[in-house]
Chains A and B, each alone.
Chain A
Amino acid sequence: MNNQDKLRQAFVAALGVKPETVTDELQYNTIAEWDSTAHMVLIAELENVFDVMLDTDDIIDMSSVKHARLILQKYDIDFA
């Protein structure tokens, strides 16, 4: 599985949404499944899947799927 697939799978697992819901444009707090509680589950899932330690700024900045990818790229996760 490439990192893009892993990212989508992490969102699916953490938020309990269908894979096709997970697009770059999907934003925090715009669907019931991605609320502040689910957000912390998502953070833990991303940390496990990509073996990174996200800080509090990352949590605040992770406002969309696109931002999640940008933040993970800071930790040398490659989405090429």
Chain B
Amino acid sequence: MTMAEDYQSALSALLDEPVYGLSQSEKLTRLQAVFALLHEHHSQHCSAYHNMFRQPVTCNTPLDQLPFMAVRLFKLFALKSVPDNDVVKCLMSSGTSGQVPSRIFLDSLTSRMQSKALVKILQQFLGKQRLPMLIIDSPDVKGADGKLNARAAGIQGLAMFGRDHTYALNPDMTLNTDAISLFCQRYQDQPVLVFGFTFMVWQHFVSALKTSDMTLHLPHAHLFHSGGWKKLEAQKVSNETFKQQLLAVAGISAVTNFYGMAEQVGSVFMECEEGMLHAPVTAEVIVRNPYDLSLAKTGESGLIQVLSALPYSYPGYSILTEDRGTIHGVGDCKCGRSGTYFTVQGRLPKVEVRGCSDTSSSPGSGV
């Protein structure tokens, strides 16, 4: 078999395993084998990667000794490991004015594997059925000319779980009250899916509903949100407040946050009932000391490194983020899921504001 075939078969086998069921030692063995193949592939097909990381990587290389790339590099360079002809999609992250967006080049294989992995993970929380879906965003979020911004890509990923997709916001980010009312009337007695980026949900849904003295009745809704608390921290909104307010203004009691990066779409870390983020079978998380990049101990806050088995068309399988987090344990979370679990504390100080939900600049927010 060629290396590409070896990789595809190892990844497919991994995707067939339970999302939160493998023992940590089994999972690490499997991931190490995949990462050794990815290292080889990127070394051969991405000269920038090859020039940065000359060290040998084998299937015995522990995850914490794999090379890692600063997330910033995806803004500075066009990093890809497949021929231009194979690129089917270019994902742009955080393209607000004054900020340089990351560019992530996807081929058909990586794009397909991202969808597959995301579906496997979310099925753990939603089942296989698709639900009527309220999207806390504007239909204008979709970019043109084949370039997909991170917010649109996130919505598209989650849209697979929806039907009768309804956008809750107008193009000017005000509430589309007609669409929302119709959606609530039609579906208030059945399970529905609500999705939006954290900041959008807070600013343009929860706060907007309060301002307009409107309350919704969606008792069977499950809200998923992601994209970070960066702006919310500045507004002093905690996870608890966020949940309380959603219940108060929309009657939504099931709220699930998840952590993920545009640079590693498909590898998402879902928040469990205990408020912990969990690494799925296709991904792992490592926390490093921000000063010397040594491994942080369990319970110690540091810089988050994310590893994902999915990035084949671009060299992003091991990325050092600019987010602060803490690993709390492995395999012994009270929720019963196996694997590493952690929390995210926010961004490093003096890092430019970014994240999916930040791509909507909001003049009134004072951030």
Residues on A with beta carbons closer than 8 Å to the beta carbon of B156: 36-37, 40
Query: Is A44 an interface position by the 8 A CB rule?
Result: yes
Tally chain A residues at the interface, Cβ within 8 Å.
17
Which of these binds chain A: B25-33, B108-116, B286-294, B330-338? Answer: B108-116
* Nearest CB of chain A from residue B97's CB, rounded to whole Å: 26
Residues on A with beta carbons closer than 8 Å to the beta carbon of B165: 40
* Nearest CB of chain B from residue A58's CB, rounded to whole Å: 9
Query: Is A60 an interface position by the 8 A CB rule?
Result: yes
Could you count the A-B residue pairs with CB atoms below 8 Å apart for me: how many are there?
44
Docked Cα-Cα span, A44 to B160, in Å, equals 11
Docked Cα-Cα span, A40 to B160, in Å, equals 7
Contact among B108, B123, B159 with A29 in the assembled complex (CB-CB below 8 Å): B108
Contact among A29, A35, A56 with B130 in the assembled complex (CB-CB below 8 Å): A56
Tally chain B residues at the interface, Cβ within 8 Å.
20
Q: Mark A23-66, 1 if CB is under 8 A from B, else 0.
A: 00000111000011100100010010000011111011001000
Contact call A29/B111, Cβ cutoff below 8 A = yes
Contact call A36/B130, Cβ cutoff below 8 A = no
Contact call B115/A37, Cβ cutoff below 8 A = no
Contact among A35, A47, A60, A63 with B163 in the assembled complex (CB-CB below 8 Å): A47
Query: Is B128 an interface position by the 8 A CB rule?
Result: yes
Known: A29-B88, A29-B112. A56 touches B142 (CB 8 A): no
Docked Cα-Cα span, A53 to B132, in Å, equals 12
* Nearest CB of chain A from residue B131's CB, rounded to whole Å: 10
Query: Is B129 an interface position by the 8 A CB rule?
Result: yes
Docked Cα-Cα span, A60 to B266, in Å, equals 13
Contact call A57/B128, Cβ cutoff below 8 A = yes
Contact call B128/A55, Cβ cutoff below 8 A = yes
Contact among B123, B128, B142, B163 with A37 in the assembled complex (CB-CB below 8 Å): B142
